[in-house]
Structure 1
Amino acid sequence: MHRAPGAVAYSLLLVAVALPFATLLREMFAADATGVWLHYASTVLPGYVINAVVLGVSVALCASVMGVACAWQVERHDFPLRGFLAWALLLPMAMPAYVAAYALTDYFQFSGPVQSWLRATFGWSKGDYWFPEFVSMPGAIAAFSLTLYPYVYLLARTAFAERGAELFEAARTLGLNRRQAWWRAALPVARPAIAGGALLVTMETLADFGTVSYYGVETLTTGIYRAWQNMGDLVAASQLAALLLAAVMLLVWLERRGRDRSRYANVRARGERMRPRVRGIGGWLRTAICAVPLLFGFVLPALLLLRLLARDWSSVSATAVATWTRNSLWVGCLAALVVVTLTLMLNARARLAREVWALRVERLLSFGYAVPGAVLAIGVLLPLTWLDGRLIDWSKQWLGVNPGLILTGSVLALVYASSIRFYGVAASAVSAAYARLPLSLDDSARVLGVVGRAAFLRVHWPAIRRSAFAGMLLVFIDTLKELPATMTLRPFNFDTLATQTYNLVKDERLGEAAFPSLLIVLASLPAVALLARAQSSKPSRRDD
């Protein structure tokens, strides 16, 4: 009987996770769903799908090339500025793609400083020269690739540090040249990690709304938002959301299937590894390879934001920015607190009470990271709107009071969606920390009479608190940058840094948008610093 409360809690968690997706399925098979689906399939749906496929594949390839190239240079060689670039290459993770998009576009577009200088210097006019058009599909691919390549870089560098460099050297001693050793030894063992990073990049690209909307690229995400917000077509929005969810789930399944088929022995070298030092032109060439993505993915957009802010500083409303910041901090802190508390409870129950269901619920919740924000927003809003209606009816009937919209009229819906969306971010950190704790600690505590909550507070918590804080920080940052779910689920007159950045950019008020954009970047930097610190803790040694 003592397990009954736990079973009820797990059942409630499962219902909370399954409810949005069950709602989407219900709307898909509504009475008028077939006619709406046929209409969209014969008009805009093919364009949505083609653009999504082209964008996702192109960004995954470009980000993988940049991430793998930088990871290999950093792990394989010692070159000028390597120590700085090794951690600085993660900085573009702090720059949302939609922020980099409008900053770079403003600088390089026809009326921007670069093309204006070219026309003034060489006497050119429109049509006399060619310059890349940023407001286009290639521009969106560039913005995504430059800000998302750190996902591939982080995982590929770890793989190269553990196996790739040693196998490369072994292949060289067997007579293979550098190119052959790279293709036949180093790259294959890192392929699962690269595929995992490319999958994350693809999911982030497919889930984005701000960048594709600014560049005018019609994808499934923009179609969902347009059908729901502009046309009020709930069935169409639900069907597009279900299609996007199915595409993402297929990608996750393909990646996991490929990873399960790959089996590699762990040949991690013991102790420190030696890196050959590269001097002269070769060394600076490697510096340039790593510096270019950092320059265009973080340094230049940040400088351009400062330039825009300095130019239009007087138009910025300090009061409004303070309100947006407070709202963003409020939602981010609530989501981070809910997620970390939940993952700590599930991991602790699985460890201390040996409850298998806790781990199963944990894995199911972690799968929410693969669900785009636009999909979750539709799935969360529909059942909560229905529940709000029932609560209002009940309150009027029994209490004679209209309480208003309790769930959808507050930040609860947004926190609910963010908790499902980003649970896997914190869970991975906490689960990894628990995996490092030997079971002998629990046995020793049990012998001393320290069990249950006391064992968690006195034995587990001191060892996992740093990982829990890291997970909390990562969830906070992801919630801060989330745009499609926030725009759909936020209460009336509740603006955040992300939503106002998008609204100001949409109205071409770029100078005013620079300040909230910079605040998002600054708030994201602590999480990036945490990742960089963890990555740089791996031992290494130069070959002098």
Structure 2
Amino acid sequence: MSAEIQSTSLPMAPVRHAVRRHWDENLLAWLIAAITLLPLAVVLVSLLQPQTDIWAHLTAFVLPDLLLNTVWLLLGVGVGSLLLGVSLAWLTAIYDFPGRKHFGWALALPLAMPAYVLAFVQIGLYDFTGPLQTLIRELWGDSRWVPAIRSRAGVILTLTLALYPYVYLLARNAFQTQGRRALEAAASLGLSRRQGFWRVALPMARPWLVGGVTLALMECLADFGTVATFNYDTFTTAIYKAWFSLFNLTAASQLASLLVLAVLVLALLEQHVRGDKRYTSAGRLSQMRPERLRGWRAALAVCACLLVLGLAFLIPLVQLLWWAQSVAAEQLDLRYFGFIGRSLLLSAGAAGLVVLIALALAYAVRRKSGLGVRLAARLATLGYAVPGTVLAVGVFIPIAWLDNRLIETVRTLGWGEPTQLIKGTLAVMLLAYIARFLAVAFEPTQSAMQRITASQEEAAASMGLGRRAVLRRIHLPMLRGGLFTAALMVFVDVMKEMPITLMTRPFGWDTLSVRVFEMTSEGQWEMAALPAVAIVLAGLIPVILLALHTEKQA
């Protein structure tokens, strides 16, 4: 009997080990998801605790203008980015003209220039005192007929030029991966090339177009620096003013909750528009040679690409460099190098931390791909769709509550009279960065993880390697490329990030983006140029890599 009991109890050890491992992976995934879910929950809970006086003030004096401005902004940027992105994508994917291959990747370069940088350059160039209107007055004596750049149309134009590459890249990929057989099929049905575009190619590209426009609109909702530069009030600027001008964190939280609801509605609308349709592509082998444009048509195509690229990137970059060289001798001092050092340190530290957490989440998903872990991974990466101002508020409120409890405890124990322990430190900013940019690091990390086959792990296990040894000797070497890509993307995103840095930074921790905000707030465009150039140059690296990678796949 004892032998029978002993024989039946032996398998329980591996079972207990498997259950414990399953629990550990689920717990790890949900702890990581909590970094994003907690700020969102804090913000949304404020809707359940409305303060009548605050809502009365917001409804009477704030919300009408905010809603009107936001709706106009979304409509204008959505339509503008769709028209620019689709037309340029179709032109460079289907037709051949001088410089087409260069324009194919160059038209993605505006992604390297943050919208808030483009905003102050546009104002500096096209405002009444700018070089364009000054030249017009010298030549014709009057420039009052020039449309004002400081207007709703100016904000829409600036954000459209900054965000159209989201639509352009996805639409171009759609037109290329579908191949030109769609046009062949349309021609076989007696349709012209123009009819083939409207009735075949464009409907087939709808999932890509919806995705690109949604990304552009989410970035539009999340934008803070551009609308602040134009003094165009939206939810992001209202949240900032409620916190730092009115010192009312509750009002900021309730405004943030409305912005979260707007983002969720936009995401649900995108899913509804896409529906459950599936689209297949004809593949590279089916691609026909692009149609060659000649004469005035080729010249028109080149001019169209140059016009958009010039307005969105080349002219602003030249103006930035001109301003930067004019003030470099004055600005390049120890204080400015402090901005650079803090930006690099913060970006590198955040990139390393975010990539480490993304690796842990990807590893948990790989080890246990159950519904619970996959749901946790999905929720953990929602932060990229949430505006930075919302995450800043959502992270700061629980941190402030915890900080107050710790201060009370320290004072009760007689250990001193601190004014703050956690808030006002880098920890708050790093938590907000993790919630915001975990998706950026998780996608390339998980893609690299999926390239590691089960047979490779089984071979390592057969050689007696444990889980840690497999991770160190098999996974990490094979993940090096994906982890590098993830770290680079997070590094650049943190370098460009303005609202989180501005709203949660410790005292004296000014970075390049904060310097740009401070100088543009005072209308000192030349002084903002030097830090802006550094941010743009850092942003060029991943954009060029992305564009070249897209060209190789084409």
**After TM superposition, what 4+ stretches of structure 1 lie above 6 angstroms from structure 2?**
none
* 1:33 and 2:48 aligned: no
Please name the residue that 1:138 is paired with.
153
Aligned to 2:185: 170
Task: Give the corresponding residue for 1:6.
Answer: 25
Aligned residue identity for 1:470:
T
Cα gap change, 1:505/1:356 in structure 2, threshold over 3 Å: closer, same or farther?
same
Of the structure 1 ranges 305-314 and 65-74, higher mean CA displacement relative to structure 2 is found in 305-314
TM-score, normalised by the number of residues in structure 1: 0.93
Give the distance between the partners of 1:138 and 1:270, measured in 2 at CA.
44
C-alpha displacement of 1:454: 2.7
Q: Quick one: which amino acid aligns to residue 351 of structure 2?
A: A
Deviation at 1:249, TM superposition (A): 0.7
**Of 288, 309, 334, the match for 1:294:** 309
- Map 1:391-540 onto structure 2 (within 5 A): 391-398=406-413, 400-402=415-417, 405-539=420-554
- The within-5 A match list for 1:152-301 is 152-163=167-178, 165-270=180-285, 273-301=288-316
Residues 303-339 of structure 1, C-alpha deviation per residue, up to 9 Å, x if partnerless?
1111222333343242222111111122212221122
Q: 1:189 to 1:443 in 2, by over 3 A?
A: farther
Deviation at 1:218, TM superposition (A): 1.2
- Residue 18 of structure 1 is matched in structure 2 by 37
Cα deviation for residue 251 of structure 1 reads 0.4
CA distance in 2: counterparts of 1:349 and 1:16, whole angstroms = 16
Identical residues among aligned pairs (%): 37
* Distance in 2 of aligned mates of 1:498 and 1:319: 17
Whole-Å separation in 2 of the counterparts to 1:199 and 1:164: 24
How far, CA to CA, are the matches of 1:347 and 1:11 in structure 2?
12
- For the structure 1 residues 358 and 402, does the alpha-carbon distance in structure 2 shift closer, same or farther, using more than 3 Å as the test? farther
TM-score, L = length of structure 2: 0.92
Deviations 1:354-390 (A, max 9, x none): 5554332211111111110111111111111111222
Contact 1:79 1:278 in 2 (8 A): yes
Distance in 2 (CA, whole Å) between partners of 1:446 and 1:167 is: 49
The whole-number CA distance in structure 1 between the counterparts of 2:182 and 2:466 is 46
Quote the RMSD (CA, aligned, Å). Answer: 2.1
- Contact 1:164–1:185 at 8 Å: present in 2 too? no
Partner residue of 2:392? 377
Q: Could you tell me which residue of structure 2 aligns to residue 53 of structure 1?
A: 71
Note the residue ranges of structure 1 that are not aligned, 5 or more in a row.
540-544
SS of residue in 1 equivalent to 2:278:
coil
SS of the aligned residue for 1:44 comes to helix
Amino acid at match of 1:50: L
Partners of 1:230 and 1:200 lie apart in 2 by 30
2: CA distance, partners of 1:461 / 1:355: 23
Alignment-derived partner of residue 125 in structure 2: 107
How far is the alpha carbon of 1:13 from its aligned partner?
2.6
**195-204 or 169-178, larger mean C-alpha shift:** 169-178
Offset of residue 443 of structure 1: 3.9
Q: Give the deviation of 1:7 after TM superposition.
A: 4.1
User: What one-letter code is carried by the residue in structure 2 that aligns with 1:462?
Assistant: P
| Corresponding residue number in structure 1 for 2:116 | 98
Please report how far the alpha carbon of residue 96 of structure 1 lies from its aligned counterpart in structure 2 after TM superposition: 0.8
- Structure 1 residues 45-68: Cα deviation after superposition (integer angstroms, max 9, x where no partner): 011011111101211211121111
Distance 2:24 2:284 in 1: 48
Per-residue deviation, 1:134: 0.5
**Local SS of the residue matching 1:111:** coil
Q: CA deviation at 1:451?
A: 4.9
What's the secondary structure of 1:141's corresponding residue?
helix
Partners of 2:78 and 2:443 lie apart in 1 by: 23
2:3 corresponds in structure 1 to none
Contact 1:17-1:420 within 8 A present in 2 as well: yes
Does structure 1 retain, via aligned residues, the 8 Å contact 2:32–2:357? no
SS in 2 for 1:43: helix
Q: String of CA shifts for 1:149-184, please: whole Å, max 9, x gaps.
A: 111111111111111532122212321011110011
Give the alignment partner of residue 62 of structure 1, picking from 80, 83, 87: 80
SS at the partner of 2:61?
Answer: coil
What is the alpha-carbon distance in structure 1 between the residues aligned to residue 156 and residue 250 of structure 2?
A: 30
Query: How has the CA–CA distance of structure 1 residues 436 and 282 changed in structure 2, closer, same or farther, with 3 Å as cutoff?
Result: farther
- 2:93 aligned partner: 75
Q: Point out the structure with max Rg over C-alpha.
A: 2
Please point out which of 319, 339, 351 is paired with 1:324.
339
SS at match of 2:129: coil
* Alpha-carbon distance change, 354 to 244 in structure 1, aligned in 2, over 3 angstroms: closer
1:377–1:489 contact (8 Å) kept in structure 2: yes
